């Protein structure tokens, strides 16, 4: 008899996360916990998912995102309710780089929500998964974390923290049954990039990015670029000599 998966999504109102949830529930009914900062938005997502998968047990948890004690308490209570099969950490926002340069409070907020907070959540889940020797922990980073660029290096630095953290966690958990999946989306059509879409940016569809995340989680892939072409693009950008890189307006 196959057991229902126990899935937790932090930042569950994210468009990418919501589409991952739809795909997981389309595979099979599951026990799904949606964690987020806004109860109403969480309930909206939960209602839609319940309609799509009436057999699933879907609940919402309103949470703190920066308080380490509160994060530990929330994850402890989630883990106490049953062994977690998949935890996806999805929250983040795209700050205005110019504002971060002129306003340290904005820079701090961007670093905290995109770097510190996901890492603290991941660390809290990792301890429980390591103890259970079971589970897949997926964290959404970004291609922006691969090399600091003048157009978005504060966001990039936070995502770089997530990248380095995930590497270390993968090293720690190598040889266990716990998988850590680092997701690096390229520009994707979600509310976060609505302003870029208006400027004519080419964006991947949220459905395709979510599908690649779900596939990577299933396979326990250590790193996934979504869409895959961003592996090549970011490899080139990372390898560009500084003299050439500094001439680029990116």
Ligand X SMILES: NC(=O)c1ccc[n+]([C@@H]2O[C@H](COP(=O)([O-])OP(=O)(O)OC[C@H]3O[C@@H](n4cnc5c(N)ncnc54)[C@H](OP(=O)(O)O)[C@@H]3O)[C@@H](O)[C@H]2O)c1
210: contact with ligand X by CB under 6 A = no
With contacts defined by CB under 6 A, name the span among 20-28, 37-45, 128-136, 212-220 that binds ligand X.
37-45
Q: Which is nearer to ligand X, 91 or 179 (CB)?
A: 91
93: contact with ligand X by CB under 6 A = yes
92: contact with ligand X by CB under 6 A = yes
Between CA 215 and CA 94 the distance in angstroms is 25
User: β-pairing, 86-89 with 30-36?
Assistant: unpaired
With contacts defined by CB under 6 A, name the span among 1-9, 122-130, 186-194, 234-242 that binds ligand X.
186-194
Q: Closest distance between ligand X and the C-beta of residue 188, in Å?
A: 4
- Please check whether residue 138 is in contact with residue 181, taking contact to mean a CB–CB distance below 8 angstroms: yes
145: contact with ligand X by CB under 6 A = no
Count CB neighbours of 170 within 10 A. Answer: 17
Q: Which is nearer to ligand X, 6 or 190 (CB)?
A: 190
With contacts defined by CB under 6 A, name the span among 75-83, 163-171, 173-181, 188-196 that binds ligand X.
188-196
- From candidates 127, 168, 191, 220, binder to ligand X by CB under 6 A: 191
37: contact with ligand X by CB under 6 A = yes
- From candidates 142, 152, 163, 212, binder to ligand X by CB under 6 A: 142
Q: Closest distance between ligand X and the C-beta of residue 45, in Å?
A: 9
Binding site for ligand X (CB under 6 A): 11, 13-16, 36-38, 41, 65, 90-93, 113-114, 140, 142, 185, 187-188, 190-193
């Amino acid at each position: 008899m196959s057991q229902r998966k126990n899935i937790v999504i932090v930042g569950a109102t994210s468009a990418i996360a919501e589409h991952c949830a739809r795909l997981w529930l389309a595979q099979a009914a599951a026990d799904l916990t949606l964690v987020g900062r806004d109860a109403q938005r969480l309930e909206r997502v939960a209602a839609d998912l319940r309609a799509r998968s009436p057999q699933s047990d879907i609940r919402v948890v309103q949470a703190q995102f920066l308080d380490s004690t509160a994060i530990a308490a929330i994850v402890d209570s989630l883990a106490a309710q049953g062994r977690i099969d998949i935890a996806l950490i999805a929250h983040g926002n795209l700050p205005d780089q110019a504002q971060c340069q002129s306003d340290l409070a904005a820079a701090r907020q961007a670093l905290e929500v995109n770097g510190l907070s996901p890492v603290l959540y991941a660390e809290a889940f990792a301890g429980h998964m390591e103890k259970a020797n079971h589970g897949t922990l997926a964290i959404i980073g970004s291609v922006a974390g691969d090399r600091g660029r003048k157009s978005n290096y504060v966001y990039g630095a936070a995502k770089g923290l997530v990248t380095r953290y995930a590497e270390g966690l993968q090293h720690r958990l190598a040889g266990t049954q716990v998988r850590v999946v680092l997701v690096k989306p390229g520009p994707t059509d979600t509310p976060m990039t609505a302003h870029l879409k208006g400027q004519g940016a080419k964006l991947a569809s949220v459905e395709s990015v979510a599908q690649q995340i779900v596939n990577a989680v299933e396979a326990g892939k250590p790193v996934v670029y979504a869409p895959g072409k961003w592996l090549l693009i970011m490899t080139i950008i990372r390898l560009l000599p500084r003299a050439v890189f500094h001439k680029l307006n990116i």
